[in-house]
Structure 1
Amino acid sequence: MATSPLQTPISTRRAAILQRTGEALEARLEAERERIGLWLPVALGAGIAAWFALPAHAHWIGLLLALAAGLLFGLLVGWHSRLGRSLFVGSGAAAAGILLIWTRALWVAAPVLAAPVTTSFSAIVERVEPLPARGQVRILALPQRRSDLPPRVRLTLRAGQAAGLAEGETIGVRTRLMPPPTASLPGGYDFAQRAWFDGIGAVGTILGEVSRVPGKEAAAPPLRTRLSAHIQGEVEGSAGGIAAALVTGDRGAISEADEEAMRRSGLAHLLSISGLHVTAVVGFAMLLAMRLLALNRRLALAGLVLPLAAAAGALAGGGYTWLAGAEVPTLRSFIAALLVLVAFLMGREALTLRLVAAGALIVLIWRPEALVGPSFQLSFAAVTAIIALHEGPPMQRFLARRDEPWLFRLGRGIAGLLITGLVVEVALAPIALFHFHKAGLYGALANVVAIPLTTFVIMPAEALALLFDSVGLGAPFWWVAEQALRALIALAHGVANAPGAVATMPNFPPWGFAFAVFGGLWILLWRTRWRYAGAVPLAIGMAALLAAPRPDLLVTGDGRHIAAALPDGGYALLRDRAGDYVRDTVAEAAGVDAPLLALAELGHVECNRDFCRWAQGEGSARRIILASHGRDRIEGADMAAACAAADVVISDRWLPHECVGRWITIDRDSLAETGGLAIYLGEAPEAVAALRAGDAHPWRLPQQLSGNDEAVPKAALAR
């Protein structure tokens, strides 16, 4: 059939537009050829993130097929072009990310307890984690000869119950076990996901005393535990807890108030052993080794001082990483330090974004689940922002050495540190708001003081104190470290309590967070002018956060705790005796930084022994809420009228079928399917659930074990 004269020019124009677009992209990629490789870990991470974000097998398989199409399209565009190779490698890396995390999730699969149970059993202690600030000890235990229990459980007990408890010891316990808890509210911390990858099938509390093998001497605690106890014995209180955290990573002796102050002031990164700490250890060891080895003329003339000093630094960093428990941030920092040392030895520039990309790639291949944790995101975002800033010509010109008075040089250095801190705060703010619903605003100023204090005073004083403790002369250095630590804590409280120190927001929509992250990476990883196009998705993501409404009602997953929004922006709890954990969880989900009031004490709320009733909202969005808080059973006929007059009915118990609210009825059955709820009451009411329908991730549909209330014989407990 002949082609219409009108169709030929249109198709020709379209082909010309596509050709020009392809040529423009090819030119851009050619100009950024040294930066294209930085997107390899981003593509791998995108596949991992997509697997976590999409709920079902069909979605994962569909995305794999779409990425396969991307592979083929890249080949069709042409392997000889950078655009074709980028499409091919990027699609392949994203597909590899999906398969990697999917395989990892199946590889670590272990049975999970199906329902709460009280039972007795014997177990081998795998790990002991003291929490002196709470008066508790947390242990990982391996139940023995109990096929109805998971192979690994996490137990909490009072410090007095665990005197002398050591790893590898066999104990007998009676515990109340429950499945690893999911997020109690939408956007909250999902421990069930982390427990799955850690192989923990149940959590619980030990009831009564711990049975020990009679006459058997307890094994010596591991070095990390002994060192933490020694440090906490030399420095009391939270100062000792921070001192131990800087050396061993053990944060159990830091009080909740001081830890919260560190978070609010933007100094919490000092408590997690990561780049700052590993760099200080490696750098100090390398400097000391170079000074000592340079005294040997033969080594100096042979050019072996630098390689041997680098080896000493690597050994010191490896020992520090092992001592600190080899957590993901520490391992990531150690890997980066090794890459820096290799670059030094090769005569290459050490601190580059290629180093960061290589470290991210190694961590993601080794532990792909780390991607969705705040630790991975915060640490890599901070390092990427710092290096990208200092690679830029404006910052290099500002910090370039020049002939000027020392006072000017000092001021320029402080200004550079402040600018770096501000850039890091901006880069970390979306991540902090997504995970914690709050972000410190004065962190850059606090870190100008805290980082030098920690790097040049606290850590060297601790190192010298531990060294001189071997001959009983460490007391003066411990005094210096304690005074500096108390100054650090005072700084944290001063900044945390300053007006406007913390910005709080409700739940960050996941799609908005994805836009913000992509826009930020686009700005940081490219070098030419098209990097500024990343401001568009970044602005869209932040606009989604700022436009997110605060929920009118929050209902925890067990239905016991209900928070209602107040006209002044605060929130009130139905049960005023809720603990600190519940209050913190609700405040984070609501995006508030003020104390939660008691709902029953408010004038517009009517309460009796069984229910509270109040009006929520104004005008056409006004809704009547009926919430139960009693324990007595009420007949359905007696509840029917009250339920029918309410728009929303909430109960932590099973409601009779006669109780039906005008819009939604929430009880134990519905909460088992939805988990916690964030309810938005308006012209079109909406309820957002913590659990997604059809979620097929393995920690949502695990291989479950049924409980067994039968007690283990006393003879078995004694073995």
Structure 2
Amino acid sequence: MGEGANRVTTLMGGKTSGKGRAFIERLRREVKGAAALPFRERDRWALWLPVFFALGIGIYFSLDFEPPVHTTAVAAVLTVLVGVGLRRSALFPAAAAAAFAAAGLFWAGFHTELARAPALDRAIGPTEVTGTILRQDRTEGPMRVVLERPTVARLAPERTPERLRLRLASLPPGAGPGARIAVLARLEPLPQPALPGGYDPARRAFFQGIGATGFALGKPRLLEPAETPGIERLRHAIAARIGEAIADPALAGIAIALTTGLRGDLPRAAHEAIRDAGLAHLLAISGLHLGLVAGLVFAAVRAALAFWPAVALRYPVKKWAAAAAIGAAFFYMLLAGATVPTQRAFVMVALALLAVLVDRLDIGMRLVALAAVAVLVLEPYALTTASFQLSFAAVVALVAAYEWMAPFLSGARARMGRALFFLAATLLTTLVATLATAPFAAHHFGRIAAYGLAANLLAVPAAAFWIMPAAILGVLAMPLGLEAWPLAAMEAGIDAVLWTAETVAAWPGAVRRFPPLPTAGAVAAAAGGLWLCLWQTRWRLFGLAGLAAALAIQAGAQPPDLMADRDARLFARYSGGRLYLSKPRAGFLGRVWAEAAGARETGSTRPGSQGLSCDRLGCAADGIAIVLRHQALEEDCRGAGIVLSAVTVSRRARWRHCDEDALIVDRQRLRRLGAHAIRFAPEGPVIETDWDRRGRRPWVALPGPRPDQ
């Protein structure tokens, strides 16, 4: 038998055995080459340190409990010591990554401790409120002001929030940022998320130092005028001058937003048109705006000094111009409110100009990494915001794309000509930025502007070479009272951009709505995108797996079938792409729910409607009952498998009127656990509450202990 086997192997298997050995050898070489790829890009390892720092911050904000700061501090110190001990080991990169992640976890918790302040836990009012105006903003309707150092007549000083946000009909003459006012108002606790896992206004307010909201019940009185000009008063003074020079409210609102970062004067219709056309980034003062300001100041100062030979030939006028440009960019950042995009843009512009000062022009991904670290150190909470994610996603992708295309672009300008090259560069920039920000726009807004590329081809050149230069000249001319001509030119440019936005937004299918991308999908997209952008060899293509995972997660995302408001004021059912609301006029909350569901439209809830049939007492559909008044409890609860109730359902009422196995979500449960989202599953309804998603965090203020049910 052994000799037969040998003959078979010799006659039939010799050739196959040779192929097998060749395949194994090739596989071994591929594996060895893949293992060596990270070491070929040792110079890119440092780019991942901010990513791991951000990972630690992200872990902190994803927890449903508050990790003790002393524990995270010890963990951070220990990981740093381990990294130092392994500095000559092959494990050092992993140790450094762990150290930065632990540092991010600690720093986010430490920053939260610094931000702790009293917050209102119950409604108060009417009561007398006094405070100093920190910020003011007007939307269509009432004015909103943030008061700092407030005093509340019916609240002890140790329980008084450090800042309040109030809605006012108007301010008294002479009142503005820095002035102290008094007003009769009703104060309320911070608003909670409209849906579990949705936007958390309480968390944002917590890190802004705001501990209560409210509205005025009378006209405010001016107690003390502002003592010093201050940057905030200067912002509003410039906004007022622009409003006087530009009569059209929409054009004036856009001009004010581009110049000072104040968007409250922009009418809602204009804002929606700009958003639906994919031009919302033009309203966020960021790299384009700060780069233009710094570039124009740099060129103007250098040209002016060049006309003075005694200075130009003896001193480094280029460096002087760079220093002046840094100062101008810093002032513009403050004027724009120092938001996350402006902070990121300023850091990048300042580092680029510092490179001029020290005779080093190595500008690239390292500059982006330093900007990310700077923003996250100053404000770790920024990581969770749409502005941070959209801003850095676009910049990282653009830098990576231009690094990859550098050999081609170096000769393309000469071959294509200046005008055609600029058009191609604008098209490429818009395409890359749109694709890079799409996952995060889907995560935060559940919508994508389908024709954003076409709109940006017209709007971006107008903003860069027409609107922003006119804005700079207008601000510089204001002290002399000569701003009319520059602002008139700015108005004409904005009119062209707004016309473009309104035209593109009116095209069929301009906005694609869908359920927001879940957090897991956004994380997968971020990981895949970073892998694709930070590496430069072929193994960067593994990042496509993360993007594919994000698409798969998005495809499987389903909106809740039933929704309930924390205050039991509104309920909804999602079915067949439509959202059916328990109230015909649901206002802001209804719009938020429609966006969260990706609903194409809201359905009719008149008596007899298929999706949800409602009257003044309640609603019903397919074994679902929504009780709006006590009178409907007995009839609607009987026979319903799921009962959503705007009234409290007592144990006796459950026993008398409802099925034994019915799921009942009543007013009391909603007040204790927050907003509810219910999804239908084969094994039964799956309930998610606001408490489940947020847990016990410093910015969460749910009344009472957590119930067992």
Q: What is the TM-score normalised by the length of structure 1?
A: 0.86
The one-letter code sitting in structure 2 at the alignment partner of 1:169 is A
What is the rounded CA distance, in whole Å, between the counterparts of 2:626 and 2:268 in structure 1?
Answer: 32
User: Which residue in the other structure is 1:715 paired with?
Assistant: none
What is the rounded CA distance, in whole Å, between the counterparts of 2:180 and 2:34 in structure 1?
Answer: 64
What is the rounded CA distance, in whole Å, between the counterparts of 1:404 and 1:330 in structure 2?
Answer: 35
User: Which residue in the other structure is 2:665 paired with?
Assistant: 666
The one-letter code sitting in structure 2 at the alignment partner of 1:283 is G
- Describe the SS at the equivalent of 1:208: coil
Structure 1 residues 517 and 601 mapped into 2: Cα distance closer, same or farther (>3 Å)?
farther
User: Which residue in the other structure is 2:191 paired with?
Assistant: 181
Contact 2:677 2:688 in 1 (8 A): yes
What is the rounded CA distance, in whole Å, between the counterparts of 2:547 and 2:75 in structure 1?
Answer: 25
What is the rounded CA distance, in whole Å, between the counterparts of 1:218 and 1:301 in structure 2?
Answer: 47
Contact 2:178 2:225 in 1 (8 A): no
For the pair 1:42 / 2:51, whether they are aligned, the reply is yes
User: Which residue in the other structure is 2:648 paired with?
Assistant: 654
User: Which residue in the other structure is 1:334 paired with?
Assistant: 346
2:212 alignment partner, one of 179, 182, 202: 202
What is the rounded CA distance, in whole Å, between the counterparts of 2:467 and 2:285 in structure 1?
Answer: 14
The one-letter code sitting in structure 2 at the alignment partner of 1:287 is A
What is the rounded CA distance, in whole Å, between the counterparts of 1:176 and 1:596 in structure 2?
Answer: 33
What is the rounded CA distance, in whole Å, between the counterparts of 2:469 and 2:84 in structure 1?
Answer: 56
What is the rounded CA distance, in whole Å, between the counterparts of 1:350 and 1:32 in structure 2?
Answer: 17
2:166 alignment partner, one of 141, 152, 155: 155
The one-letter code sitting in structure 1 at the alignment partner of 2:666 is D
What are the equivalent positions in structure 2 for 1:4-23 lying under 5 Å apart? Answer: none
What is the rounded CA distance, in whole Å, between the counterparts of 2:185 and 2:506 in structure 1?
Answer: 40
Contact 1:442 1:495 in 2 (8 A): yes
Structure 1 residues 95 and 142 mapped into 2: Cα distance closer, same or farther (>3 Å)?
same
User: Which residue in the other structure is 1:584 paired with?
Assistant: 591
1:441 alignment partner, one of 450, 459, 470: 450
What is the rounded CA distance, in whole Å, between the counterparts of 2:304 and 2:483 in structure 1?
Answer: 23
What is the rounded CA distance, in whole Å, between the counterparts of 1:24 and 1:51 in structure 2?
Answer: 37
What is the Cα deviation at residue 59 of structure 1?
10
What is the rounded CA distance, in whole Å, between the counterparts of 2:303 and 2:355 in structure 1?
Answer: 21
For the pair 1:542 / 2:551, whether they are aligned, the reply is yes
The one-letter code sitting in structure 1 at the alignment partner of 2:663 is I
Between 581-590 and 244-253, the greater mean CA deviation after superposition? 581-590
Contact 2:251 2:495 in 1 (8 A): yes
What is the rounded CA distance, in whole Å, between the counterparts of 1:414 and 1:337 in structure 2?
Answer: 24
What are the equivalent positions in structure 2 for 1:404-423 lying under 5 Å apart? Answer: 404=415, 406=417, 409-423=418-432
1:304 alignment partner, one of 312, 316, 327: 316
- Describe the SS at the equivalent of 1:400: helix
What is the Cα deviation at residue 441 of structure 1?
2.4
User: Which residue in the other structure is 2:263 paired with?
Assistant: 251
User: Which residue in the other structure is 1:12 paired with?
Assistant: none
User: Which residue in the other structure is 2:530 paired with?
Assistant: 521
Contact 1:446 1:495 in 2 (8 A): yes
What are the equivalent positions in structure 2 for 1:28-427 lying under 5 Å apart? Answer: 28-57=37-66, 79-81=87-89, 83-131=90-138, 133-144=140-151, 146-147=155-156, 148-159=159-170, 161-213=171-223, 222-235=233-246, 236-392=248-404, 394=405, 396-398=407-409, 400-401=411-412, 403-404=414-415, 406=417, 409-427=418-436
What is the Cα deviation at residue 556 of structure 1?
2.3
Structure 1 residues 204 and 509 mapped into 2: Cα distance closer, same or farther (>3 Å)?
same
What is the rounded CA distance, in whole Å, between the counterparts of 2:135 and 2:608 in structure 1?
Answer: 45
What is the Cα deviation at residue 591 of structure 1?
1.2
What is the rounded CA distance, in whole Å, between the counterparts of 2:68 and 2:222 in structure 1?
Answer: 50
User: Which residue in the other structure is 1:690 paired with?
Assistant: 690
- Describe the SS at the equivalent of 1:251: coil
The one-letter code sitting in structure 1 at the alignment partner of 2:546 is P
What is the Cα deviation at residue 61 of structure 1?
9.4
What is the rounded CA distance, in whole Å, between the counterparts of 1:312 and 1:133 in structure 2?
Answer: 38
What is the Cα deviation at residue 688 of structure 1?
2.5
What is the rounded CA distance, in whole Å, between the counterparts of 2:584 and 2:128 in structure 1?
Answer: 36
The one-letter code sitting in structure 2 at the alignment partner of 1:564 is R
What is the Cα deviation at residue 595 of structure 1?
3.7
What is the Cα deviation at residue 48 of structure 1?
0.2
Structure 1 residues 21 and 101 mapped into 2: Cα distance closer, same or farther (>3 Å)?
farther
CA deviation map 1:487-535 (0-9, x unaligned): 1112112222222222222132222221111111110111111111111
What is the Cα deviation at residue 395 of structure 1?
5.3
User: Which residue in the other structure is 1:551 paired with?
Assistant: 560
User: Which residue in the other structure is 2:680 paired with?
Assistant: 681
- Describe the SS at the equivalent of 2:220: strand
User: Which residue in the other structure is 1:599 paired with?
Assistant: 605
User: Which residue in the other structure is 2:628 paired with?
Assistant: 629
What is the Cα deviation at residue 557 of structure 1?
2.2
What is the Cα deviation at residue 677 of structure 1?
2.3
Structure 1 residues 645 and 314 mapped into 2: Cα distance closer, same or farther (>3 Å)?
same
Give the RMSD, CA atoms, in angstroms.
2.9
Contact 2:607 2:615 in 1 (8 A): no
- Describe the SS at the equivalent of 2:131: strand
- Runs of 5+ unmatched residues, structure 1: 1-18, 616-623, 705-719
Contact 2:564 2:570 in 1 (8 A): yes
What are the equivalent positions in structure 2 for 1:443-458 lying under 5 Å apart? Answer: 443-458=452-467
Contact 1:141 1:155 in 2 (8 A): no
Q: What is the TM-score normalised by the length of structure 2?
A: 0.87
2:485 alignment partner, one of 459, 473, 476: 476
What is the Cα deviation at residue 23 of structure 1?
7.1
- Describe the SS at the equivalent of 1:378: helix
What is the Cα deviation at residue 444 of structure 1?
2.4
For the pair 1:643 / 2:637, whether they are aligned, the reply is yes
Between 150-159 and 461-470, the greater mean CA deviation after superposition? 461-470
Structure 1 residues 165 and 391 mapped into 2: Cα distance closer, same or farther (>3 Å)?
same
What is the rounded CA distance, in whole Å, between the counterparts of 1:295 and 1:58 in structure 2?
Answer: 61
